[in-house]
Amino acid sequence: MKILIADDERLSRHLLQKTLERAGYEVTAVENGRLAAEHLCRLDGPRLALLDWVMPELDGPEVCRLVRQQRKQVHVHIVLLTSKESKKDVVVGLESGADDYLIKPCDPEELKARLRTGLRILQLEDKLVEAREDMRFKATHDSLTSLLNRGAVMELLSRELVRTRREKASITILLGDVDHFKQVNDTYGHAVGDEVLREVAKRLLSSARSYDLVGRYGGEEFLIVLNNSDARYALARAEQIRNAVARLPVQTTRGPLAVTMSLGVLASGTEGPCSVEDILYEIDMALYAAKAAGRNCSKLVEPKFACAEPAAT
């Protein structure tokens, strides 16, 4: 575990460094408050710190305040070292954001025990952050395919449309539906249906770029948002994606299954005041057209559906 020691007095600094290195810490020792703040405010900076109260440039409490302001993403456990013993001084130190304090010179066993307490707090924080991130992922991702879920992909699409309009950029939106998926479920069971959906999701993800959005829109429907995608190539991109799904049979526990997808495609069409719902309605119509055309194909939204600026009256 990394730890920062800040003390302008060389002898104490050396003693602390040796004591903590012997206890297994990876020690960085500095001689003033400014250097301490620099180290502690770095993204990968130490999360344990021993700060002398009286130091040149910035004193211990000032470093505490700075670190609390600037490094909000993670908790840094700060112990102030002081020869000050009055209650007033202790209160000032703790109010500045310190977690603990020790009177100098400190007993090595007490010092190590206090730092172990700090480590327990940091470990607890790490577990809480991990749990929060896990919950955030579950709230925004589909549990079967791990793609963005409907709510998340719709929200992101909405943001992308605003950004595209603001930047006068282009966007391509695809709505894909696995062909004859009901038959897969009815013939092989829902477990195999799930296997197919997982594999289709994987193929869609691998055919998209890192900054594209891929989400599960509904049962066997997937929404793909290609940001900054040239409208002239929208249909070609849709065909690439369709081929990526259909190229090889999906290996299931019941054997290989040929899987295809039909796609509705909207290229740009973001100039007007269309809502996400209007846009999806139009793409849905194009998807129906693809189904009606025999499936396993992509159809562009007809120009008559495309959003446009309201005509001037």
Partner 1 sequence: MCETESPNVQVVLNIPELLAQLEDDRALLGELLEIFKEECPPLLRSLAEAVSGKDARVVERTSHNLKGMLSTLSAPRATSAASQLEQMGRTGEMSGCRGTLTILEAEVVSLLVELENCLETAEQ
Chain residues binding partner 1 by CB under 8 A are: 7-12, 14-15, 18-19, 22, 54, 83, 104-105, 107-108
The least CB distance from residue 149 to partner 1, in Å, is 56
3-state SS of 184-225 is HHHHHCHHHHHHHHHHHHHHHHHHCCCCCEEEECCCCEEEEE
Closer CB to partner 1, 19 or 117, in the complex: 19
The least CB distance from residue 12 to partner 1, in Å, is 5
Closer CB to partner 1, 9 or 130, in the complex: 9
The least CB distance from residue 4 to partner 1, in Å, is 18
The least CB distance from residue 22 to partner 1, in Å, is 7
How deeply is 90 buried, as exposed, middle or buried, from its count of CB atoms within 10 A (0-12, 13-18, 19+)?
A: middle
The least CB distance from residue 71 to partner 1, in Å, is 28
Closer CB to partner 1, 18 or 190, in the complex: 18
Closer CB to partner 1, 23 or 289, in the complex: 23
Run of H or E residues at 247? none
Q: Token pair for residue 200?
A: 């289709």
Phi and psi at residue 30, to the nearest 5°: -130, 165
Quick check: is 220 catalytic? yes
Closer CB to partner 1, 84 or 165, in the complex: 84
3-state secondary structure of 181: helix
Q: Which amino acid is at 234?
A: A
Q: Which amino acid is at 142?
A: D
Strand-strand pairing, 100-103 and 298-300: unpaired
Please state, in angstroms and rounded to a whole number, the distance separating the CA atoms of residues 41 and 283: 48
Is the Cα torsion angle 147, 152, 158, 162 positive or negative in sign? negative
User: Of 238, 220, 217, nearest to 229 (Cα)?
Assistant: 238
The least CB distance from residue 215 to partner 1, in Å, is 59
The least CB distance from residue 112 to partner 1, in Å, is 10
How deeply is 255 buried, as exposed, middle or buried, from its count of CB atoms within 10 A (0-12, 13-18, 19+)?
A: exposed
Span between the terminal Cα atoms of the chain, in Å:
70
Closer CB to partner 1, 7 or 212, in the complex: 7
3-state secondary structure of 84: coil
Question: Catalytic one among 220, 239, 302, 309?
Answer: 220
97: left (phi over 0), alpha (psi -120 to 50) or beta: left
Closer CB to partner 1, 107 or 230, in the complex: 107
- Positions annotated as catalytic residues are 220
